[in-house]
Structure 1
Amino acid sequence: MATVRLTVAQAVVRFLGCQYSERDGAEHRLIPGCFGIFGHGNVAGMAQALLEAQVTGSADLPYYLARNEQGMVHAAAGYAKTLNRLQTLACTASIGPGSTNMLTGAALATVNRLPVLLLPSDIFATRAAVPVLQELENPGSYDVSVNDAFRPLSRFFDRVWRPEQLPQALLGAMRVLTDPARTGAVTVALPQDVQAEAYDWPVELFARRVWPIARPVPEPAALDRAVAVLRAARRPLIVAGGGVIYAEATEALRRFAQSTGIPVCDTQAGKGSLLWDHPQAVGGVGSTGSQAANALARDADVVLGIGTRYSDFTTASRTAFQDPGVRFVNLNVAGFDAAKHTGVMLVADARTGLDALTEALSSYRVGDGYRTRYRQLTDDWNQVVDRAVHLGHQPLPAQSEVLGALNEMMSPRDIVVQAAGSMPGDLQMLWRAGDAKQYSVEYGFSCMGFEIAGALGVKLAAPDRDVFALVGDGSYLMMAQEIVTSVAEGLKLIVIIVQNHGFASIGELSEKLGSQRFGTAYRYRNAGTGQLDGAKLPIDLAANAQSLGAEVIRVRTIDGFRDAIKHAKAAASTTAIHIETDPLAPVPSSGGWWDVPVSQVSELASTRAAYQDYAQHKAGQRPLIEGGTP
């Protein structure tokens, strides 16, 4: 058997350079690049291997220097999301804190069902030098390291103690990365001494491999059950999730909606599944959805969920669907999600499932009265949105006006990236998606600091599109370092910094819960009260962005903001736009609820009043929605 002598790290790099994904006859490099930050755990292993690959041409795996380990995982997730999970990036980090910095990114990827490959360095397999610098010793076991924290966060985890174990680990990692029902963070931990160890590898390990990404078709009996439930529906509603977009099933959804007349609402990950101006599109559903979608959800007798995991925001903490006999049909590639709400399980790819449903329900159409109702609700809601985005709020603009102006100034092919704070809720409520990829909001983990790093990955995946990182001051202060990476790589981002001097979302939530916005504003400590309620802090985020290499435009008005967007779109390099908004400006009500418990007893009158309101909403919650047939 022919062999080639390489170190473990060199073998990893060469293997990754030969992996491809395939769907619908189109092949893609599965892992066309590697982010990394080097330290004593990987500088002699993965760093040397990546350098050698570049110098000798032995493997095609470009290296990108990130500035924060969490940030590079966010970038890989943004990359995979943009490319519909057909491609992703690898991330290598040094032992100890370098690797554990990736934990948050791993959780985000797995929660959002996004493939990322993590290659954390690990302790010495030989135990020749223990405790090594940055090793966390466990008195109860010598084979435990901090990387074991990746186990519950990963859809696949392995540690390569010996070179002989590497092929199985790598093949298992690729299998999970390309499985749409199981994908998420995939972790292969590499002890630092093993990375540099040489071994004679079979040349077959480095053969070109193509991993097919399947489109499972519905099981006939399950399809019959789903069709029977849908045929009996009088007030059906489609909930379109991210699975519609990842399966490239937006056209199939459009055909199904038009054929049946069923209205379509969307989740955060599913926004753009059906474009906002389509006659069947009724907006976002749930806690931060549209009043139109939530009114339809309350009365729906059948809910067809497509590619959704039914998060608490989507179901308004299980208060959205109030019809006593409501039934669920769940079309999902993952059986775990298809089984939720005891619905009829239709385990299949979103596109193949929709095509089968369209054919089976060719003679079904909702009644004229129902169509008239949802169109009127949508027309009414569009007027609410128009008012919110042209509010004319003074003296500072409302955040809704900033979002509205951005929406109107962006082309359909531009992409907005967001994740945390008050903006995801306002975006789902107000954004009008003109393209299936225009809206990229990470709201599975809603990770503060994702925005700029995630946008970097989006730009890598879509270099021909303008990418807007929309970030509040709270998230900006969590992680802005990848501005430096965007400048270094010539990957132009447009960073919009919305300054409202604190945590707007949690401030509003705190007030609703009777906690009076405690600890949610960026203020000096007040010597009189002892609280952080003094004057505003003199923080200049625009100057900070400029110091990281971005061109900066400061604006104070919506007209100035529009001009700044024009300038940023014409610019050749990363540009930041800074605008201050009023965190107390009004936003429309979604008509939905979110279950955040309130203190049952309190000496504060505000908390007692909030608890009474909470108890009223809690009474409408349905912890287990019955009536479906698995």
Structure 2
Amino acid sequence: MSRPTVRLTTAQALVRFLANQYSERDGREQRLIPGAWGIFGHGNVAGVGQALLQAAATGEADLPYYLARNEQGMVHAAVAYAKMRDRLAAFACTASTGPGSTNMITGAALATTNRLPVLLLPSDMFATRAADPVLQQLEDTRGGDVTVNDAFRTVSKYFDRITRPEQLIPAAPAAMRVLTDPVETGAVTLALPQDVQAEAYDWPVEFFRRRVWHVGRPVPETAAVERAAELLRGARRPLIVAGGGVVYSGAEARLRAFAEATGIPVADTHAGKGAVPWDHPCAVGGIGSTGAYAANELAKEADVVLGIGTRYSDFTTASHTVFGDPDVTFVNLNVARLDAVKHAAEPVVADARLGIEALARALDGWRVPDEHRQRVAGLIARTREIEEECFAPDRATGDLPAQTQILGALNDVLDDRAVVINAAGSMPGDLQQLWRARDPKAYHVEYAYSCMGYEVAAGVGAKMADPSREVVVLVGDGSYLMMAQEIVTMVSEGLKVIVVLVQNHGFASIGALSESLGSQRFGTKYRYRDGDSGQLDGDVLPVDLAANAASLGADVLRAATVGEFRAAMEKAKAADRTTVVHVETDLYGPNPPAHGWWDVPVSQTSALDSTREAYATYAAHKRDQRPYL
């Protein structure tokens, strides 16, 4: 007896398949692929584009379509959505052949680096090669099957090129498997040749059945928990480092209870901020290169470090200098063995929530020494003083407000559920020290790839993921100029997002880094080229970014002082549509005091005094750097 089939194109079959995929964790089901982003051109306009139109027109598949203005931007929006939904939902993104598709590669790299799911559907050349070479086709002398889409391979967790319709039958479920795997997730790429997209095939109806992908919670091994607990019981100065895995696992309440029961202080990474509220007595702030005073001082003294859901980037370890005890020992609880064994740790490979619960049982009745808790309290008190100094009215050293004062005002005017988005420039460092998050979704800083241009597009995805929250995009002029187009998408979709546009006429972060490395802020200011010097050190450019934002359809409010900024934010909060609040700040800071170091090599030989002096400082820091063995 033959199986029932339905005749569809490859693209129509893919749309129907995606519309019937669901994820489940802890008994809660949701759409795995809630919709598709797309920009159409040759390669997908008659394939995936036609399939999405047909689905909407006939109701044969429920896969809503969203129009972005930039291919990289739509991937960022999709990734932000996945982050807000704890990696349990992932958008599809389709683009045309050639540059449209390769524009998504940066977004793919961001997704995979952050371990966030997104399904990419780049259009590809003709599988038949009947018309080769077609418009925008790369001709490669190494092989006829090489296309520009091969560049996706290195930044994808799964890659397949569908050169025959029937290849989709095994490839599509394989893609869903990777998207829903908390260890392997990231960008998943199915490259779709343009002729194959439009090719008809008799598909088994069973291929389109409703499928639920169960996202499990790996259970910790009893012996591993016992070994970890033994190390923690022997600690005098333990410290927890909470990463993004705590948030994605939904383990925040367990972590708070564990910290309260044991007295172990909790530092956090960018991805983990908010897992423990900033004002909790065990919360010691961000750790690492741009970390807070309390967290970094405790890291210097820690004899046992319990890392939960962290991958230990160089910013977290201050390039292997923040953990100062020569005999420091690591215990790592992580769903990924890759991260669990880092720093020669005692690994506990498990879901963060179940792992914390197991450690809590194993350490029942044990608490850190009283002197350690007193030390923690004293360091937190000093950290609060530093924060208030950064927010103080007299913080500014020039005519313009300091960025830290703007962040202080934002802390005051936003409620606990408001989502603050940032990714690049000087703001991530300032935010890690100064942002007072009480909700695990309130701090949305992409700092694995730190991609300029992420912020505005991410505001779209974050708002779509949870419309009940106020979403505030914090973006500097450098990042804004790279990708502001998705303001148009906010407007067209009726999304209410507040964009705080901080303009300082340059790259503040790289400028300060350049100066510290002896490179004198070279190439980091937005200036006219000076006719005498020949350098870009003339007058400030007459760029009006507020006018630009208005031209994209947003309401715009201008603020010149901290007081005007507060008033503008209140108006923006009361608005029902996308509003840009524009404020100029001092390019030269001041920024929060540094409590950590970041390894950026300095020229070992130079004709410049500034560079030679910077190298001497760099060499001194290198002496503190070591592997954790």
Q: What is the TM-score of this pair, normalised by structure 1?
A: 0.99
2:412 and 2:87 map into 1 onto residues whose CA distance is 29
The residue number in structure 1 matching 2:589 is 585
Amino acid at match of 2:52: L
List per-residue Cα deviations over 1:538-573 (Å, max 9, x = no partner): 000000000000000011011110111111111111
Which residue, 330, 333, 350 being the options, matches 1:331? 333
1:360-439 to structure 2, matched below 5 A, reads: 360-392=362-394, 393=396, 394-439=398-443
**Alignment-mate amino acid for residue 555 of structure 1:** A
Deviations 1:134-164 (A, max 9, x none): 1111111000101100001000101100011
C-alpha distance in 1 between matches for 2:60 and 2:236: 62
In 1: Cα distance, 2:17 partner to 2:62 partner: 10
Contact 2:404 2:592 in 1 (8 A): no
Match of 1:573 in 2: 577
Q: Which amino acid aligns with 1:375?
A: A
Which of 463, 467, 479 in structure 1 is aligned with 2:483?
Answer: 479
Name the structure 1 match of 2:610: 606
Alpha-carbon separation, structure 2, partners of 1:16 and 1:53: 12
2:72 alignment partner AA:
Q
Aligned residue identity for 2:76: H
CA deviations on 1:391-412 (whole Å, 9 max, x unpaired) are 4324110000111111111111
Unaligned runs of at least 5 residues, structure 1: none
The 8 Å contact of residues 41 and 97 in structure 2, kept in 1 or not, is answered as yes
Aligned positions of 1:558-569 closer than 5 A: 558-569=562-573
Q: Which residue of 2 aligns with 1:288?
A: 290
| Residue matched to 1:274 | 276
Residue 346 of structure 2: aligned partner: 344
**C-alpha deviations, 1:17-41, integer Å up to 9, x for none?**
0000000000010011100000011
Q: 1:440 aligns with which of 425, 444, 451?
A: 444
The Cα shift of 1:42 comes to: 0.1
SS of equivalent to 1:227: helix
Per-residue CA distance 1:241-261 (angstroms, 9 max, x = gap): 001001000001011101110
Q: Does 1:239 align with 2:241?
A: yes
Deviation of residue 590 (structure 1)? 3.3
**1: distance between equivalents of 2:460 and 2:260?**
36
Q: What is the distance in 2 between the residues matched to 1:587 and 1:193?
A: 55
SS at match of 1:451: helix
Letter in 2 for 1:351: R
Partners of 1:294 and 1:590 within 8 A in 2? no
- Contact map agreement 2:276 2:438 (CA 8 A) in 1: no
Residue 98 of structure 2 is aligned with which of 96, 114, 136?
96
After superposition, the C-alpha distances for 1:389-441 in whole angstroms (9 at most, x for unaligned) are 12432411000011111111111111010000000000001110021111100
Q: Which residue identity lines up with residue 591 of structure 2 in the other structure? A: V
Q: What one-letter code is carried by the residue in structure 2 that aligns with 1:234?
A: R
Q: Secondary structure at the match of 2:539?
A: coil
What TM-score, normalized to structure 2? 0.99
Give 1:8's aligned residue. Answer: 10
CA distance in 2, matches of 1:167, 1:332: 33
For each residue in 1:176-224, what CA deviation from the matched residue of structure 2 results, as whole angstroms up to 9, or x when unmatched?
0000011000001000000000001111110000000110011112111
Q: Distance in 2 between matches of 1:339 and 1:118?
A: 31
Q: Aligned match of 1:53 in 47, 55, 70?
A: 55
Which amino acid is 2:461 matched to? G
The whole-number CA distance in structure 2 between the counterparts of 1:106 and 1:24 is 29
Q: The residue matched to 1:313 in structure 2 has which SS?
A: helix
Deviation at 1:492, TM superposition (A): 1.4
The one-letter code matched in structure 2 to 1:505 is S
Paired residue total: 625
After the TM superposition, which residues 132-211 of structure 1 pair with which residues of structure 2 at under 5 Å, given as runs? 132-211=134-213
Q: Could you say what secondary structure the match of 2:613 adopts?
A: helix
Partner of 1:65: 67
SS in structure 2 opposite 1:314?
helix
**Contact 2:42 2:97 (C-alpha < 8 Å) held by counterparts:** yes
**What CA distance in whole angstroms lies between the structure 2 residues aligned with 1:526 and 1:282?**
47
Counterpart in the other structure of 1:625: 628
- 1:429–1:590 contact (8 Å) kept in structure 2: no
Question: Which residue of structure 2 aligns with residue 468 of structure 1?
Answer: 472
Contact 2:304 2:331 in 1 (8 A): yes
Matching residue of 1:498: 502
State the distance in 2 between where 1:369 and 1:181 align: 38
Identity among equivalent pairs (%): 66
In the aligned structure 1, how far is the partner of 2:54 from the partner of 2:340? 46
Following the alignment from structure 2 to structure 1, what is the Cα–Cα distance between the partners of residues 340 and 216? 17
User: Residue 19 of structure 2 corresponds to which residue in structure 1?
Assistant: 17
Distance, in Å, in 1 between the alignment partners of 2:411 and 2:39 is 36
C-alpha separation between the residues in 2 aligned to 1:408 and 1:29? Answer: 36
Shift of 1:275: 0.4
Do 2:122 and 2:192's aligned partners in 1 also have CA atoms closer than 8 Å?
yes
Q: Distance in 2 between matches of 1:522 and 1:587?
A: 20
Shift, 1:287, TM fit: 0.4
1:474-524 CA-partner distances (Å, limit 9, x unpaired): 000000000001100101111111000000000000000001101000000
Asked whether the 8 Å contact 1:70–1:101 carries over to 2, the reply is yes
Structure 1 residues 90-120: Cα deviation after superposition (integer angstroms, max 9, x where no partner):
1000010000000000000000000000000
Pick one of 127, 135, 143 that aligns with 1:125.
Answer: 127
Q: Is the contact between residue 239 and residue 302 of structure 2 (CA under 8 Å) also seen in structure 1?
A: yes
Cα offset, 1:587, TM superposition: 2.1
* Structure 2: runs of 5+ lacking an equivalent: none
- Provide Cα deviations, 1:447-485, integer angstroms capped at 9, x if missing partner: 000000011100110111111110000000000000001
- Higher mean alpha-carbon deviation, 580-589 vs 367-376, is at 580-589
Task: Report the Cα offset of residue 319 of structure 1.
Answer: 0.2
